[in-house]
């Protein structure tokens, strides 16, 4: 795939995200077509009230898909709402595949918390190559294409850069973003809370003593914080490809690193065999670490520190078995 073609795909995604931005704002503020007396509707998707969908989700996804079909009729399309309706039964191929979350952070959106946006990613050979995350209420547009860098409103990422950007050497120097997920079963919530506890627990009791743990309600915006340089890492198990495909390429193009997020706590895998695995956007597990500058006089040390921090997180969090997205 040429750089020129990737740039074209990126520009298309940016244009479409901006086109649906006004509808997103109308929905957020309940104005225009989504005014207070219209059928806004926040429908429960999982039966527990923790995951919902609105008419804005449906409208934006339909509009984005319509534009993409007009421009790229042979490309595949994967969207949160249409995929949910078909029970996740779609074929994952190597073909160019647009992966869309029309409202990432719907609960935030419904409750007027501004940390929510539109996510449009493109995967080729099952790997993300283009990403756009647009947060209309905050007026933040994150963009990236493979090999072409990552930007927020045209400014290169990370926004926080050396020498201001520090070089953390342990979790105790890190800020972390994560999510509690929409699966509220006792077993799953028990596992998540146990992992959160160990991340926060002091080191003498076997914890990571991470400086803070932020739960903000939207995966793609979470990961853009790591790309931005204002959080050191992000970990989550359970989100879908549309929850982070666009943000992953933004993070890696900013100099960050992503790996498979399956935790090792309680695992039968011997410590000597616990090695980081490449991230797969379809496997619903992610550990991400921001760009880290090299230590003085130690070229490559930043990349090694990224790996070490990722390993440190995985040693104290548990895996939760979720089926992969789609049919492979």
pLDDT in tens, 174-214: 999 999 887 888 999 999 999 999 999 999 998 999 999 99
Answer yes or no: is pLDDT of 244 > 80. yes
The per-residue pLDDT for 173 is 96
Total number of domains in the chain: 2
Q: Examine the domain organization and report whether 34 and 152 are in the same domain.
A: yes
Answer yes or no: is pLDDT of 233 > 70. yes
Answer yes or no: is pLDDT of 129 > 60. yes
Whether 321 is in a domain gets the answer no
Q: 42-51, 95-104, 283-292, 310-319 — which is least confidently predicted?
A: 42-51
Q: What is the radius of gyration, based on Cα positions, of the chain? A: 19
Whether 11 is in a domain gets the answer yes
Q: Examine the domain organization and report whether 311 and 184 are in the same domain.
A: yes
The per-residue pLDDT for 84 is 59
Q: Examine the domain organization and report whether 31 and 106 are in the same domain.
A: yes
Q: Going by C-beta distance under 8 Å and a sequence separation of 6 or more, which residues neighbour residue 94? A: 124, 125, 126
Q: Examine the domain organization and report whether 152 and 246 are in the same domain.
A: no
Whether 166 is in a domain gets the answer no
Answer yes or no: is pLDDT of 254 > 90. yes
Chain mean pLDDT for the chain:
92
Q: Examine the domain organization and report whether 132 and 208 are in the same domain.
A: no
CB 247 within 8 A of CB 219: yes
Beta strands 42-44 and 52-54, pairing class: antiparallel
Q: Comparing C-alpha atoms, which of 255, 254, 174, 248 is closest to residue 210?
A: 174
Answer yes or no: is pLDDT of 53 > 80. no
Whether 102 is in a domain gets the answer yes
Whether 220 is in a domain gets the answer yes
Confidence of residue 50 (pLDDT cuts 50, 70, 90): low
Q: Examine the domain organization and report whether 116 and 240 are in the same domain.
A: no
Report the length, in residues, of the chain: 328
Q: Examine the domain organization and report whether 209 and 248 are in the same domain.
A: yes
| Percent residues over pLDDT 70 in the chain | 93
Confidence of residue 42 (pLDDT cuts 50, 70, 90): low
Whether 326 is in a domain gets the answer no
Give the span between the Cα atoms of 30 and 43, in whole angstroms. Answer: 16
Mean pLDDT in residue range 235-261: 96
Range of the domain at 98: 3-156
Q: Examine the domain organization and report whether 312 and 218 are in the same domain.
A: yes
**Distance (Å) of CA 310 to CA 60, 172, 179, 208, 298:** 35, 13, 17, 12, 20
Give the span between the Cα atoms of 204 and 104, in whole angstroms. Answer: 38
The per-residue pLDDT for 54 is 82
Residue that is last in its domain, among 156, 187, 222? 156
Give the span between the Cα atoms of 121 and 101, in whole angstroms. Answer: 9
Whether 324 is in a domain gets the answer no
Q: Comparing C-alpha atoms, which of 319, 233, 317, 307 is closest to residue 275?
A: 307
Answer yes or no: is pLDDT of 40 > 70. no
The per-residue pLDDT for 52 is 64
Answer yes or no: is pLDDT of 266 > 90. yes
Mean pLDDT in residue range 103-118: 93
Give the span between the Cα atoms of 145 and 250, in whole angstroms. Answer: 8
Answer yes or no: is pLDDT of 27 > 60. yes
Q: Examine the domain organization and report whether 290 and 195 are in the same domain.
A: yes
Q: Examine the domain organization and report whether 134 and 242 are in the same domain.
A: no
Residue that is last in its domain, among 156, 191, 211? 156
pTM of the model: 0.94
Give the span between the Cα atoms of 93 and 84, in whole angstroms. Answer: 18
Alpha carbon 294 to its chain's center: 25
Answer yes or no: is pLDDT of 38 > 90. no
CATH of the domain at 304: 3.40.190.80
CB 93 within 8 A of CB 104: no
Mean pLDDT in residue range 11-19: 98
**Distance (Å) of CA 237 to CA 4, 125, 137, 217, 241:** 35, 23, 27, 14, 11
Mean pLDDT in residue range 288-313: 96
Instruction: Give the pLDDT confidence of 60-93 residue by residue, as tens digits.
Output: 999 999 999 999 999 999 997 777 555 566 889 9
The per-residue pLDDT for 289 is 98
CATH of the domain at 138: 3.30.540.10
Whether 299 is in a domain gets the answer yes
Q: Examine the domain organization and report whether 100 and 204 are in the same domain.
A: no
Q: Examine the domain organization and report whether 148 and 175 are in the same domain.
A: no
The CA angle 310-127-178, to the nearest 5 degrees, is: 35
Q: Which residues of 295-310 are buried (b: 16+ CB within 10 A; e: fewer)?
A: eeeeeebbeebbebbb
Residue that is last in its domain, among 102, 122, 156? 156
Helix, strand, or coil (residue 243): helix
């Amino acid at each position: 795939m040429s750089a020129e073609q990737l740039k074209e795909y990126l520009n298309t995604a940016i244009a479409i995200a901006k086109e649906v931005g006004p509808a997103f704002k109308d929905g957020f503020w309940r104005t225009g077509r989504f005014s207070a007396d219209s059928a806004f509707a926040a429908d429960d998707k999982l039966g527990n009230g923790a995951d919902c969908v609105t008419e804005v989700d449906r409208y934006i996804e339909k509009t984005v898909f319509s534009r993409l079909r007009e421009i790229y009729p042979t490309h595949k399309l994967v969207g949160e709402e249409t995929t949910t309706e078909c029970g996740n039964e779609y074929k994952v191929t190597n073909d160019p595949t647009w992966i869309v979350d029309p409202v990432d952070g719907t609960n935030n959106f419904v409750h007027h918390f501004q940390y929510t946006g539109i996510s449009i990613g493109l995967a080729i050979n099952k790997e993300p190559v283009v990403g756009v995350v647009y947060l209309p209420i905050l007026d933040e547009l994150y963009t990236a294409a493979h090999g072409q860098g990552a930007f927020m409103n045209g400014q290169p990422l990370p926004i926080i850069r050396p020498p201001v950007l520090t070089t953390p050497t342990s979790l105790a120097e890190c800020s972390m973003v994560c999510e509690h997920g929409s699966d509220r079963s006792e077993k799953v919530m028990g596992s998540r809370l146990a992992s959160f506890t160990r991340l926060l627990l002091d080191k003498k009791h076997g914890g990571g003593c991470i400086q803070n743990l932020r739960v903000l309600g939207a995966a793609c915006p979470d990961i853009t914080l790591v790309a931005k340089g204002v959080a050191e890492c992000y970990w989550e198990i359970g989100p879908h490809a549309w929850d982070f495909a666009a943000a992953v390429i933004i993070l890696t193009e900013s100099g960050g690193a992503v790996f498979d997020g399956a935790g090792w706590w309680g695992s039968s895998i011997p410590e000597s065999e616990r090695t980081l695995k490449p991230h797969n956007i379809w496997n619903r597990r992610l550990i991400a670490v921001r760009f880290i500058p090299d230590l003085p006089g130690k070229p490559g040390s930043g990349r090694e520190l990224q790996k070490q921090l990722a390993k440190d997180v995985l040693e104290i969090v548990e895996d939760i078995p979720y089926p992969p997205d789609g049919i492979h």
